[in-house]
Amino acid sequence: MVDQVSKNTDESLNELAQVMTVGMKRWGKIIYPMMIAFIVLAIYGFYLIYNVTKDMHQITTNMVVMTRAVVTMTNTLNQNMNQIDSQMGAINIHMDKMNTNIAVIKDMSPNIASLATSVQEMNTNFGTMNQSIGQMNQSMNSMVYSTNSMSSSLGELNTNISAPMKSMNSVIPWSYMPGR
């Protein structure tokens, strides 16, 4: 009887072992491909993060260069507007002198009187134009201030992003590759 129980126990253990082996093989067919897929996705995720940080660095560098160019352009435009403003003032003064001279010549001919009226209208228009140029000058100064603020903000963004990106690059294995 002990042999019988021992035999049944051995058979039961063998069946259990076979069932467990089959179950392990089934799980192996599922888990190993899942692990490989996870590893591939993780590597791809790190690759994407690396490219995004590299692109962000390039964007901030380009933005700094672009803001410098815009500041230079607005300063040049501001200088040109100041020159135009002073020249328009000089033109306005000369138009006043012409208006005075035309008043003296007014008695010579009725056509000269109509010319004086036209010059007066032009003088008024130049005054309005002079005011408009002054407003444009103020607008350009506002643009220069805004551009300088953008440049400062981009510099802070670059400073805030560079430290985390340096630590991220030290973790990424291909950051030490030649040609970087």
Query: For residue 3, what are the CA distances in angstroms to 14, 16, 41?
Result: 16, 20, 56
Pull the structure tokens for residue 174: 């291909």
Confidence (pLDDT) at 13: 79
**pLDDT digits (tens), the chain, 180 positions:** 667 767 777 787 788 788 888 878 887 788 888 999 999 999 999 999 999 999 998 988 888 888 888 889 988 988 988 898 888 888 888 888 887 877 766 566 666 667 678 878 888 877 888 888 888 888 888 888 888 888 888 788 777 777 777 776 666 666 555 555
Pull the structure tokens for residue 25: 């093989």
CA distance 32 to 55: 35
Beta-carbon count within 10 A of 6 CB: 10
Give the residue extent of every domain in the chain: 2-170
- Name the pTM for this structure: 0.35
Confidence (pLDDT) at 48: 93
